[in-house]
Amino acid sequence: MSIARDKVLEWIKASADVLAENRDYLIQLDAAIGDADHGANMDRGFKAVMAKMPEISDKDIGTIFKTVGMVLLSTVGGAGGPLYGTFFLQAGMKTARKLELGLEDWAAALESALNGVIMRGKAELNDKTMVDALTPAVNALKQAIEANLPMEQALRLSAEAARQGMEATIPLVARKGRASYLGERSAGHQDPGATSSYLLLKAAADTWTDG
């Protein structure tokens, strides 16, 4: 089983839909420890991405991802623009000229995206950022490949690991970004960036496993 270009385009549309649906939820999470703009920023960014899709839907997956990254860089405010822009740009570099992705290709792209986010945001695991959702997702994917699990199962395990990582941010004290200004008061709140990362990976699993 592989992930065809059309499935990648479906994932991007599903991501735009899920971010629109969760716009107010992400705003609510961000209001507790940030600037209350993460939901609006991500929704606006992915709406701009969808407007660009007709121009690139016949391109290779790497070009599609790089275009998504550039659009997010230019339209998403706050920290989300540089971080998610970097995420997709790095994934695009790993998938250049590909018209379909095997599980190893996706794992390599996701790991490269994570490493880009870590470098851009200078964040580590347990800093209460999107890294806390992405790191376990990448690790789960690599373990599934080592165990020779089917792609559908691997994608589900990756999304579930992201969910657990997202929820694990609740008790953490933020050490990066706007939330870090709150110190101990940032504990007890789920990180909005980890939440949007989980939503994207769950959308990938849902799209690429037919629900």
Report the sign of the C-alpha dihedral through residues 81, 61, 117, 183, in that order.
Answer: positive
Mean predicted lDDT score pLDDT of the chain: 95
Which pLDDT does position 199 carry in this prediction?
Answer: 98
Provide the whole-model pTM. 0.96
Which pLDDT does position 135 carry in this prediction?
Answer: 98
Domains of the chain: 3-208 (1.25.40.340)
For the chain, the maximum distance between any two Cα atoms, rounded to a whole number of angstroms, is: 49
DSSP state string for the chain: --EEHHHHHHHHHHHHHHHHHTHHHHHHHHHHHS-S-HHHHHHHHHHHHHHHHHHHTTS-HHHHHHHHHHHHHHH--TTHHHHHHHHHHHHHHHTTT-SEE-HHHHHHHHHHHHHHHHHHHT--TTSSSTHHHHHHHHHHHHHHHHTT--HHHHHHHHHHHHHHHHHTTTTPPP-STGGGGGGGGGTTS--HHHHHHHHHHHHHHHHHTT-
**For the chain, which ranges sit under pLDDT 50?**
none
Which pLDDT does position 151 carry in this prediction?
Answer: 97
Which pLDDT does position 210 carry in this prediction?
Answer: 73
Which pLDDT does position 27 carry in this prediction?
Answer: 97
